Structure 1
Amino acid sequence: MPESHAPRFVHLRVHTEYSISDGIVQVDAAIARAAADGMPALGISDLANLFGMVKFYKGARGKGIKPIIGADCWITAEPDRDKPYRVLLICKNRQGYGQLCELLTRAYMENKYRGRAEIRREWLTAESASDLLCLSGARDGDVGHALAAGNTRLAEQLAADWSRRFPGGFYIELQRAGHPGTETYIREALAIATKLELPVVATHPIQFARPEDFKAHEARVCIAEGYVLSDKRRPKDFTEQQYFKTQDEMAALFADLPEALENSVEIARRCSLTVQLGKNFLPLFPTPDGMSLDDFLIQEAKAGLEERLAQLYPDPEAREQQRQRYEDRLKFETDTIIQMGFPGYFLIVADFIQWGKANGVPVGPGRGSGAGSLVAYSLKITDIDPLAYALLFERFLNPERVSMPDFDIDFCQDNRYRVIEYVRERYGKDAVSQIATFGTMASKAVVRDVGRVLDLPYGLCDRLSKLIPVVQNKPLSLADARDQEPQINELMNDSSDGESIQELWSLAEPLEGLTRGVGMHAGGVLIAPGKLTDFCPLYIADGEDATPVSQFDKDDVEAVGLVKFDFLGLRNLTIIELALEYVHRLTGHRPDLMSLGFEDQAAYQILREANTTAIFQVESDGMKKLLKKLAPDRFEDIIAVLALYRPGPLGSGMVDDFILRKKGQQAIDYFHPDLTACLSPTYGVIVYQEQVMQISQIIGGYTLGGADMLRRAMGKKKPEE
């Protein structure tokens, strides 16, 4: 590499929007700035978390930049816990990443104080942190605190202690970000580094991308901490210098300390973290007597099918007539599941569903494409015979497109937690957690938040927020709202509050869409093979009943190979359970729902009258209108009504065709004689995605796997596919 192009500096301290309390740099924006400046590597160091790790890792590698993964960690101060200090821990490699995950998880689980997840100094040993580098935290580290207090001797002792904990991996950190006392700190820190023969490194604490974003960043800090911007007493921890500086700017800033600049590049060279993405790691399902997963799946599915056939066809002669098509379908499915490597997934799901059913937890009969699997029906994961309703296995698991199967499983809302507890006991507490979600600052909320920190009247902010139009349950962005709602511009330009509103808008725009807080995914549960911290760290919110969640969202946990199981809580199942208990108390008899047929006209009468409040998926006003119009009198009509009540069919005339043909008021057209069997249940109207797949198989000669790819492309409206 020619000398002129050799990198002179690498940023190791970017606080992205995932620092939550401070930092408004979006991950992609940080990567773009590093790329534009020719930096070969870039390091993020969010505050006590790795929330943005996967997005940063993927984004940086996609732009040819080496991702450096670290965390700005709180370290517990004794005896005064109100004055913790900070160090930057950076992963040298995959082992170091595992160590950092373990340390951060332990901080959240065992050592939270006033909302801070703190690492204890004694946890950091030459063994537990062998593959981590440690930067001293500059003014915010304990060495910096001791120097600020005028205690040079203590500062030396602390630096020597860190050096023992991180042999060859501890750096004295120097920063020039415009804070008072900076030069005194640098002079004294250099003296300690020289005396103890420790390397020094220049870093720059980045909180925002451009100098002009300083005020928006201050607003974000005030939103997180509950201050008003104009409050003279609020802590002012950040300066206008904390933007993303170029290599030229950093070289000028530390022109007197070239070795400190060189060491930032040297640290980037020392770190090479590779995380395997896109491969799934299923938990190990315990099989009896060392039997293979494949053989156990086949055995369980065959035994389950025998039970199901006995229920479906009580007459032995009828059962034998039907047996062959069920056995052929079962063999095709088990072969596909085994070939794709998913027998463990089916066995795990079957195990916790069967436990739920055996332990008084009402479970839904199955929903979504998973109902197309005969193996799922045989293992009692679902309670719908897929052959009776022409449901296709390929829509659930496509042998031509490898992706994880995904059952949506409904549990009674009040008992869902018991099934999760069972899974914790079965696979180990360290292996099971729920999944984080990240709430963002949407336009309506950010207007109110910024209005509050600017100390504007509540009524004004409320009015502005309400002026932002909502389209399909989502508020428009601030830019689109201005285009579409003329009153916003009128208020900005003509009213007495115009200047205040313009300031509010200019601060709200850079904050819009940023991560605001951490929540919990409604249904997702992770089960890892071994410890979750081998894959990602865990987070726990403040509060007594808080549950551990992954520090990655659902897309990122799947990217690092963890498998998500959907445990959805459904209040309708709780209502049905209460009704069954009520019948039992009144009559002494508890009905078995699964043995009831689908012929009871009194049930259809309730639907025809649209008396459907609290009945799952048919309780909205629009659905009630459709039920009255369609007047269902057979089970197929209920299936159709759920598929027809969607924006596409409602706007296309399909619904009217279906109703007129059902009532005999319109001729039925099957397009082609070969499609009669496939389209007769819906009077020739193409209602279901399965029908799209069957038509492409019958007319276009597709395999069902290929037909599923076509269905997906149609669903995404991508003509080029």
Structure 2
Amino acid sequence: MTQDFVHLRMHTEFSIKDGMLNPKKVVHKAIASGMKALAITDATAMFGDVIFYKAASAAGIKPILGADCSITNHYNRDDYLRLLFLARNHQGYLTLCDLLSRAWLTNQYKDRGEVDLDWITPEMADGLIVLSGFNTGAIGKAILNGSLSAAEQEALRLSQKFPHFFMELQRVGRPNDEMLVAESVKLAKKLGLPVVATQPIQFENSEDFEFHEARVAIADGFTLANKARPRIYTPQQYFRTKEEMCELFKDIPSAIENSVEIAKRCNVTIKLGKPQLPIFPTPDGMSLKDYMAQLAREGLDRRLKVLYPDEKKREAEFPRYKERLEREIKIIQDMDFPGYFLIVQDFINWAKTHGCPVGPGRGSGAGSLVAYSLGITDLDPLAYDLLFERFLNPERVSMPDFDVDFCQNNRGRVIEYVKSKYGEESVSQIATFGTMGAKGVIKDVGRVLDMSYSEADRLSRMIPTRPGHNTTLEEALSEEPQFRAEVRNNPQARKLIEYALKLEGTTRSLGIHAGGVLIAPGKLIDFCPLYAAGMLPENVISMYDKKDVEAVGLVKFDFLGLTTLTIIERALDYIEKNTGVRPDIEHMECDDEDTYKKIFQTGDTVAVFQFESPGMHKLLIDAKPTQLSDLIALNALYRPGPMDLIPDFLDIRAGRKKAEYADPRLIPILEDTAGIMVYQEQVMLVAQKIGGYSLGGADILRRAMGKKDVAEMERQSKVFIEGAAKNGVSEEVAAHLFELMRKFAGYGFNKSHAAAYSYVAYKTGWLKNYYPAEFLASSLSEVMTDPEKSLKILMDAKRHSVKLLGPDINESEFNYTSPKTMEIRMGLGALKGVGSAPAEAIKAEREQNGPFKDPFDLVKRVGSQLITKKIIQVFAMAGVFDSIEPNRRKWFENADVVVQSAQENEKAADQFSLFGEEPSNEVPIKEVAPWSDRTRMEKEQYVLGFYFSGHPLEAYQSELKRNFGALVAGTESENPGEYLVAGMYLGCEQRRGKDGSPFVTLHLATPDGPVDYSVKNQYFEQERVRIKEIPKGEIVVVELNKSHSKKSGKTWASPGAFYPLYELRHRQRAHIVIQPAEEADPKELERLILDVQMTHPEEAIRVDFEFSDDRSFRVRLPCPYKAAADWTLVRDLEDSPSIRQVEVAYGL
């Protein structure tokens, strides 16, 4: 009979940089091996411990929690040590949480959290079982270095410090393993120390070794072939069976026996389930229940005075608000959640009174009148029929969850307030884990296999992109013939995908949850370990993710950053600066007719929150909303699923169709949405009014419908039909209604969320209507790093007759600004490579000491550390110095002179100051001719990401119209017909539609912004080779066919063939006409002419030189159109000072 054995050392994927084992799946491996217990010991981490604990416990395997810890070597920190810590009991678990937290929060070295053994008290040590670390521990390293006496001293020190200390033995095929085992056993025997055998598990099977090497190389930034790559693992570090381990250590049976003995001694129970809130202080010892009720009643009185200024009206409305409030208060008290409401209202009201904008609500919490009364939300739930039970259901006890939106720029301040109130040690953010997705893992593996970036990127682009779904490699291989063929026929691609399939889904990185904040009732480390990237306080996170922190009893509060709130706040600042008045947007009514008419009914919603997409733009035009309830409905409808209901919704609203109600009692529930169930709350109300459900029961029904549980639906159907019968509804009608509810519950939207976000949307629409420049400038500031979004908003501002001003050294700030009503000034932050530090320094210096005279003055005053040569060149390309010197090329080419001069002056400053003199900044600079318009625009586009002061297509418009009849893409008529349109080619992207069918999106750029057309996949496949040869930035002409769909009522644009302009020029035998400048240098002109006189008459572009004195001659320039893909000669000659004009001509 085989001895028992327990694995005590295992790195899972949550070691982040190494380890491939999934902590859930590995449990099954232990079961298959007949093991009764298993340890998880990630590298100075416990990220996966709760996942492992739950999986092991559920499977009947005893979970042992530990960590393979880096230990500070005070003699040489570069030669770090390791010890394996296992939690012997709950105190040991808390000790691990403490040690790992201190390691990452206070004792990092070279991106490594280290445990200092001096931290460990005798009480802490008693809760741990400690293993020596074999070759990575101080004892093992001393033996390997030949210092047996040092090894003995270290063994004595550790065994005295840790009462449960074991000498660790390993055999995994490393060169010195046998020697180290032998010496370790001798030393243990001499000192009377127990030994234990461990297997340093990194992967499941021995054949996974190469894949694990790739995983480690990805994390460390090496290629597999790199000779400098550390090679510290062996193929033997797989999950050995207990039979293999017993055979491996049959000469040291006690080492096997002790693995089981240690497992018996490790008894950790993590308390899972019950949430524990921090203690909220109340005045005069008042109970949490009474204090919450008091604040809610007082808050309701304040709210009603604003909602109903007329006292008589207020008195008439009071009873229904009072009844709802008291009902909610009782439910909250009965469910023991007053503390949660008090904590949330406290930090929200602090934010509101300290200049941190807060959203009106998010999610189902907006349905609570108590929340509205406490100031947690800002939308009256009674006015919009929002249901409390959708948020907190007394018949299904679960923790309430308010998602709170804060201004992105101020979110950190609110978190700091919470830390100050509850203590730094009680507050942290939450970990998230990034995994290797299909596209990413292809690039990662391609890099470590030394494949070119372009090749790996090409393969990754074959993975189809689908909205809301991350396509896996298996799916791509199954669904994409081109990808499958590439893998089958290309050995390099086949090897890459073999590795990628093994690594896909593995944890790759650690991040911070977008909104989750933990507030513990005491120290967080009494619940979970903590981590902090760079030991920065703002980076402190739990080692457990959001599910696991809730599992151990911590309560997550959602502090979400919403950039729209930042946009609104900044826009109000600009408005106040320009007009002297700050609109009271917090208390405005949502009934401005002009806003609905000019913004929402016309679809003028670029930058309007939640209503920006082209599809929503079209829906708004068709729906013609006139009130907030309309916006709420449209917001809920324009989503996958209910989108199919939009045509009926529009027809009923327009009177083309009549709404149908199976029962008159449905009219007040459904009339706002044209008789269609759009909201989850409507499903609940139908269940209540028709089926006789309580609202709590109706919420349970709604959830069950969403899960599509057939057995439960059968049961609920009977309950509904019986309840409907009691309310006088026939079985046939009730059954029909139940089916409708079941259908709509699957994709019905949360009305509370739609209402709160539509309220924010209305505010942005109102700002855009009355203050377009201020609002759009603020919006631009939030998308400065996204050229595509920036250009879209800039084009919209242009349509609103807003004057667009370029970046200026004496006017611009970091953000976009609105210096005057109907003006937008570009911010320096919009320029590539310009951070906030130089921009803020420029602004501060300018405000203190006046405008800058030139770049010399700029660098002198701000300093060459911030204003580098690169910054000067970026500024020159973007036109930042135009108001000083319009020749951008001058400062671009003299940037090194400017910076060098400033640096020399800085060095000489002290010496000159002894004599009371200033160092001179007068240095000679090179005079150069300005860039051509084309070059200027290209430089500008390089640093902005888009064309601002002009667009290259403009130079071709007359040629395109005159010779081909081509219009600028996007300006063609909406009417059906055939058109030729032109634009700058940005590339093609293969995608799949909702039905899975492939299509290609053709991306073009025009002076009015980007234009996309969907191209038939068949055409793209036929012309793939030719299309791939078209360089990005080329002008292309597209054959466009517009047709009208009777079914949808829409006009569809279907591009057919498209051709680069250079190809069309070649077909029509276009030629180049060069007009030299009158002051042209004869020698330069002679060299220029000689350069283009070549002999390849069969595929040549004719070049005509026309002089002002009527002299002219021709040459044949040998440029087959494929070789001269962009007619680069035209561009090159434009920048020559000897050339006055270069143009393309057709005909003789």
Q: How far apart, in 1, do the equivalents of 2:126 and 2:591 lie? A: 68
**How many residues of Structure 1 are paired with residues of Structure 2 in the alignment?**
711
| Aligned-partner Cα distance in 2 for 1:185–1:175 | 9
Q: Which residue of structure 1 lines up, in the alignment, with residue 603 of structure 2?
A: 610
For 1:11-26, list aligned pairs within 5 A.
11-26=7-22
Alpha-carbon distance, 1:664 to partner? 1.7
Secondary structure of 1:405's partner? coil
1:669 matches 2:660: yes
Q: Which amino acid aligns with 2:424?
A: K
Cα distance in 2 for residues equivalent to 1:592 and 1:612: 22
Per the alignment, residue 223 of structure 1 pairs with 218
Q: Deviations over 1:105-131 (max 9, x none)?
A: 000011100111001121123123321
1:537 matched residue in structure 2: 529
Q: Distance in 1 between matches of 2:446 and 2:577?
A: 56
Tell me what 2:349 maps to.
354
Q: Distance in 1 between matches of 2:20 and 2:578?
A: 61
Letter of the 1:522 partner, please give it: A
Q: Is the 8 A contact 1:125 1:166 kept in 2?
A: no
Shift of 1:372: 0.5
Q: 1:526 and 2:518 equivalent?
A: yes
* Whole-angstrom distance in 2 between the partners of 1:457 and 1:81: 37
Distance 2:611 2:556 in 1: 28
What CA deviation, in whole Å up to 9, does each residue of 1:564-591 have, x standing for no partner?
Answer: 1111111111111122223323343322
Partner SS, residue 126 of structure 2 = coil
Match of 1:499 in 2: 491
2:506 pairs with 1:510? no
**Equivalent residues of 2:106, 2:535 under 8 A apart:** no
1:688 counterpart = 2:683: no
SS of residue in 1 equivalent to 2:704: helix
- Per-residue CA deviations over 1:261-310 (Å, capped at 9, x if unaligned) read 01100111001111111110111111111111111111111111111121
Instruction: Give the 3-state SS of the residue equivalent to 1:448 in structure 2.
Output: helix
Residue by residue, what CA displacement relative to the aligned partner does 1:122-153 show, whole Å, maximum 9, x if unpaired? 11231233211111001111000111111111
Letter in 1 for 2:316: Q
How do residues 251-400 of structure 1 correspond to structure 2 at under 5 angstroms?
A: 251-400=246-395
- One-letter identity of the residue aligned with 1:138: F
Match for 1:527: what amino acid? I
* Secondary structure of 1:619's aligned partner: coil
What is the distance in 2 between the residues matched to 1:683 and 1:462?
48
Residue 403 (1) aligns with residue 406 (2): no
- Secondary structure of the 2:360 match is coil
Residue in 2 aligned with 1:628? 621
8 Å contact from structure 1 (residues 285, 347) kept in 2: yes
Alignment counterpart, residue 128 of structure 1, candidates 117, 124, 127: 124
Partners of 2:369 and 2:270 in 1: CA distance: 36
- The Cα of 1:369 is off from its aligned counterpart by 0.4
Q: Are positions 1:214 and 2:209 aligned together?
A: yes
2:514 alignment partner, SS class: strand
CA distance in 1, matches of 2:587, 2:111: 52
Letter of the 1:224 counterpart: A
Once the two structures are TM-superposed, the CA of residue 546 in structure 1 deviates from its matched residue by 5.6
CA contact (8 A) 1:407 1:566 kept: yes
Counterparts of 1:362 and 1:319, CA distance in 2:
28
What's the CA shift for 1:161?
A: 1.1
Q: Amino acid of the residue matched to residue 318 of structure 2?
A: R
SS at match of 2:38: strand
Given that residues 670 and 682 in structure 2 are in contact (C-alpha distance below 8 angstroms), is that contact kept between their aligned partners in structure 1?
yes
Residue 594 (structure 2) pairs with residue 599 (structure 1): no
- Is the CA contact 1:572–1:614 (under 8 Å) kept in the aligned structure 2? no
Cα distance between partner residues in 1 of 2:316 and 2:620:
37
Range with bigger deviation, 699-708 or 582-591: 582-591
**C-alpha contact 1:130 1:166 (8 A) present in aligned 2:** yes
Instruction: Kindly indicate whether the alpha-carbon contact (under 8 Å) linking 1:661 and 1:667 is maintained by their aligned counterparts in 2.
Output: yes
Alignment correspondent of 1:40: 36
Distance 1:531 1:432 in 2: 8
Q: Give the structure 2 partner of residue 483 of structure 1.
A: 478
Distance (Å, rounded) in 1 between the aligned partners of 2:705 and 2:255: 56
- Is the 2:105–2:536 contact (alpha carbons within 8 Å) kept by the matching residues of 1? no
Counterpart-to-counterpart distance in 2, 1:231 and 1:596: 64
Query: 1:373 corresponds to which letter in structure 2?
Result: S
Structure 1 residue identity aligned to 2:294: Q
CA RMSD of aligned residues (A): 1.4
What is residue 584 of structure 1 aligned with on the other side? 576
Matches within 5 A, 1:90-239: 90-167=86-163, 169-239=164-234
Q: By how many angstroms is 1:26 displaced?
A: 1.1
TM-fit CA distance, 1:595: 2.6
Amino acid at match of 2:221: G
- Give percent identity, aligned residues only: 55
Distance in 2 of aligned mates of 1:144 and 1:40: 29
Counterpart secondary structure, 2:333 = helix
1:470 counterpart SS class: coil
Structure 1 segments of 4+ aligned residues over 4 angstroms from their partners? 543-546
Give the Å deviation of 1:473: 4.5
Alignment match, 2:612: 619
Structure 1 position 439, deviation (Å): 0.2
Q: Deviations over 1:460-485 (max 9, x none)?
A: 21111111112225441111111111
Q: Which secondary structure does the structure 2 equivalent of 1:229 belong to?
A: coil
Aligned partner of 1:607: which letter?
F
Counting only pairs closer than 5 Å after superposition, residues 428-447 of structure 1 correspond to structure 2 as 428-447=423-442
Relative distance call for 1:580 and 1:458 in structure 2 (3 A) is closer
Q: Kindly indicate whether residue 70 of structure 2 is the aligned counterpart of residue 62 of structure 1.
A: no
Q: Within the alignment, does 1:83 sit opposite 2:79 as a pair?
A: yes
Counterpart residue identity of residue 671, structure 2: S
> How many Å separate the matches in 1 of 2:352 and 2:487?
60
Q: Secondary structure at the match of 2:576?
A: helix
**SS of corresponding position for 1:201:** strand
| Matched-pair contact (CA < 8 Å) for 2:196–2:255 | yes
Q: Does 2:630 correspond to 1:637?
A: yes
Partners of 1:667 and 1:29 lie apart in 2 by 56
Shift of 1:29: 2.4
Structure 1 residues 288-297 or 456-465, which shifts more? Answer: 456-465
Unpaired segments ≥5 residues, structure 2: 713-1148
1:543, distance to aligned residue in structure 2 (A): 7.5
State how far apart, in whole Å, the 1-side matches of 2:536 and 2:129 are. 34
Shifted more, 501-510 versus 214-223: the winner is 501-510
Give the aligned partner of residue 571 of structure 1.
563
Tell me the TM-score normalized by structure 1: 0.97
Q: What is the CA–CA distance in structure 2 between the aligned matches of 1:509 and 1:261, rounded to whole Å?
A: 35
**Residue identity in the other structure for 2:135:** R
Quick one: distance in 2 between partners of 1:561 and 1:643?
Answer: 34
SS in 2 for 1:208: coil
Report the alpha carbon displacement of residue 715 of structure 1 after superposing the two structures with TM: 2.5
The one-letter amino acid paired with 1:599 is D
Q: In the TM superposition, what whole-angstrom CA distance separates every residue of 1:155-190 from its partner, at most 9, and x where no partner exists?
A: 1111111112111x1000011111111111111111
Deviations for 1:425-447, whole angstroms, at most 9, x for unmatched residues? 11111111111110000011111
Distance in 1 (alpha carbons) for counterparts of 2:614 and 2:161: 65
Mapped partners of 2:150, 2:120: distance in 1: 19
Q: Please tell me whether the aligned partners of residues 88 and 265 of structure 2 are also in contact (alpha carbons under 8 angstroms).
A: yes
Q: Distance in 2 between matches of 1:712 and 1:617?
A: 26
Give how far 1:94 is off.
1.5
Whether the aligned pair in 2 keeps the contact of 1:126 and 1:164 (CA below 8 Å) is no
CA contact (8 A) 2:8 2:198 kept: yes
Radius of gyration: which is bigger? 2
- Aligned-pair CA distance for 1:720: 3.4
Within 2, Cα distance between the matches of 1:38 and 1:702? 51
1:657 — aligned with what?
648
